[in-house]
């Protein structure tokens, strides 16, 4: 069985740990790789290496950092198939979806490559007689990124592109379920000319995360994952005096008004609910059907599910792959099993889909569609993170808006309509961080920032874009005066600006 290594100080380092995890090929259920969980000594050494490297990298010129980022972007693009293959083999998503993930990650490198513009400060001349004031932003120091299994390339790039561009050293703790892509990114950075020790990859579980959260050598923590873990990460990191951003879970709604184009809405619902087997924090998990739109919309979605091709991610014919683990597959299936007992109607039962050959041992689950779902049902209240789409029927626009606003999550939401006035009103009134109008997955482009409201975000820092620059830097204001020596006097009064 293949054995992974950590990436420390610019190269692979074999772990001495006696603790490890197992990586599976989700399409076959076969164990393929052992991943070591870092020892306390390995954690200590990595932090020491990163702190040392951060001093020179943090004072390097912006042009030197930009040169590395440009070359890194070139290498990621040139080797995107290699990255996509690593994603598919460990996560299970289809190859085209994996390539799309890499493409969205590239956007973040491109944004970070403009760091010379993003770090422009302000300057005010002559605020008082002979006094000037200017502001600047400087790197935080050593930051750690803790990333989820569902986007093993894109989410690390959300963090690392800006973190490195701003002059920080970084320790990435990828998901132990699919960490190989992170090691490829580390190698690409090395090939791009990044100095040794500036970017490191440590594998591990909750114990490793806890050690990073509590270590005084870590200055900031960036996290994406479930809401319970995000809440804990934010609390523990800030209690240790660290800057923290923690993005949590979601229950994303797609409101369909009576005037919507049914085919457009059905295409969007299927794409957004079942892409990547529903393992996306921005996946649509609830369709809110307003008025008489429910029946034709459910019929249109059902027709599309009946021809959906589910299979191994490396099969070009597959449109949806397996889930990440057997345990997660079984958990998602349990939501479908319990839906009818709560009063919902199972329109399409993904548990009925059968798979042949190697796929019969894989972690596959068909697409499920559940009608007549209501708040208070487990299938509505909890984040499922799988290929299950619920339909909630409401009678009016205001009922749909209130349903979304009363949900504990506020990550993303979409509205489908031909009415520009209704769409505009919805974008103003809805309490979510990201809103789509006839766009089912409104993930912002890299020049904006990603983040939800309510239980989908802890702290006030959104991910990547301008918010990422602010998170990975600290502001400093300098007040300077160069008076004529002959004019200097002792003045014990409060400093004046006039």
Residues designated catalytic: 281
Report the alpha-carbon distance of residue 152 to residue 90 in Å, rounded.
Answer: 9
Report the alpha-carbon distance of residue 65 to residue 276 in Å, rounded.
Answer: 34
Report the alpha-carbon distance of residue 411 to residue 455 in Å, rounded.
Answer: 8
Report the alpha-carbon distance of residue 84 to residue 153 in Å, rounded.
Answer: 9
Exposed/middle/buried for residue 477 (C-beta within 10 Å: 0-12, 13-18, 19+): exposed
With b for 16 or more beta-carbon neighbours within 10 A and e for fewer, the 212-228 pattern comes to bbebebbbbbbbbbbbe
Type and span of the H or E element at 126: strand 123-128
Whole-angstrom CA distances from 400 to 69, 73, 291 are 44, 42, 10
Whether residue 247 contacts residue 230, with contact meaning beta carbons closer than 8 Å, is answered with yes
Exposed/middle/buried for residue 306 (C-beta within 10 Å: 0-12, 13-18, 19+): exposed
Which residues make Cβ contacts (< 8 Å) with residue 384, sequence separation at least 6?
278, 285, 332, 335
Instruction: Show the tokens assigned to 474.
Output: 């600290």
């Amino acid at each position: 069985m293949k054995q992974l290594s950590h990436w420390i100080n610019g190269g692979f380092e074999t772990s001495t740990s006696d603790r490890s995890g197992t990586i599976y090929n989700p399409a076959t259920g076969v164990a393929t790789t052992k991943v070591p969980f870092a020892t306390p000594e390995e954690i200590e050494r990595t932090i020491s290496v990163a702190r040392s490297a951060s001093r020179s990298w943090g004072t390097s010129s912006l042009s030197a950092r930009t040169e590395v980022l440009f070359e890194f972007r070139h290498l990621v693009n040139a080797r995107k198939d290699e990255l996509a293959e690593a994603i598919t083999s460990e996560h299970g998503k289809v190859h085209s979806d994996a390539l799309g993930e890499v493409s969205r990650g590239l956007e973040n490198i491109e944004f970070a490559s403009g760091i010379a513009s993003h770090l422009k400060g302000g300057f005010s001349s002559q605020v008082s007689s002979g006094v000037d004031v200017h502001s600047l932003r400087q790197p935080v120091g050593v930051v750690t990124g803790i990333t989820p299994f569902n986007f093993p390339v894109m989410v690390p790039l959300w963090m690392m592109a800006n973190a490195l561009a701003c002059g920080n050293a970084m320790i990435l703790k990828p998901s132990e379920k699919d960490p190989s892509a992170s090691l490829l990114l580390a190698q690409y950075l090395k090939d791009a000319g990044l100095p040794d020790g500036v970017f490191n990859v440590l594998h591990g579980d909750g114990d490793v995360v806890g050690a990073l959260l509590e270590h005084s050598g870590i200055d900031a923590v960036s996290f994406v994952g479930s809401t319970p873990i995000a809440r804990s990460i934010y609390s523990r990191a800030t209690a240790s005096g660290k800057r923290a951003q923690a993005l949590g879970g979601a229950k994303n709604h797609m409101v369909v008004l009576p005037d919507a184009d049914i085919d457009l809405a059905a295409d969007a619902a299927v794409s957004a609910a079942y892409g990547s087997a529903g393992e996306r924090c921005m996946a649509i998990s609830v369709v809110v059907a307003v008025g008489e739109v429910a029946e034709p919309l459910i019929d249109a979605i059902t027709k599309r599910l009946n021809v959906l091709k589910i299979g191994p991610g490396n099969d070009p014919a597959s449109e949806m792959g397996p889930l990440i683990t057997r345990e997660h597959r079984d958990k998602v299936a349990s939501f479908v099993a319990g839906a009818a007992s709560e009063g919902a109607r199972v329109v399409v039962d993904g548990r009925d889909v059968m798979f042949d050959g190697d796929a019969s041992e894989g972690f596959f689950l068909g697409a499920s569609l559940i009608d007549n779902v209501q708040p208070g049902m487990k299938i509505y209240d909890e984040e499922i993170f799988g290929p299950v789409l619920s339909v909630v029927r409401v009678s009016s626009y205001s009922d749909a808006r209130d349903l979304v606003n009363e949900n504990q999550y506020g990550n993303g939401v979409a509205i489908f309509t031909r009415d520009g006035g209704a769409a505009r009103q919805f974008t103003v009134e809805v309490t979510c961080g990201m809103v789509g109008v006839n766009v089912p997955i409104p993930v912002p482009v890299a020049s904006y920032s990603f983040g939800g409201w309510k239980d989908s975000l802890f702290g006030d820092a959104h991910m990547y874009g301008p918010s990422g620059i602010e998170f990975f830097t600290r502001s400093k204001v300098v007040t300077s005066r160069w008076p004529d020596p002959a004019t200097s006097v002792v003045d014990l009064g409060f400093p004046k600006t006039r």
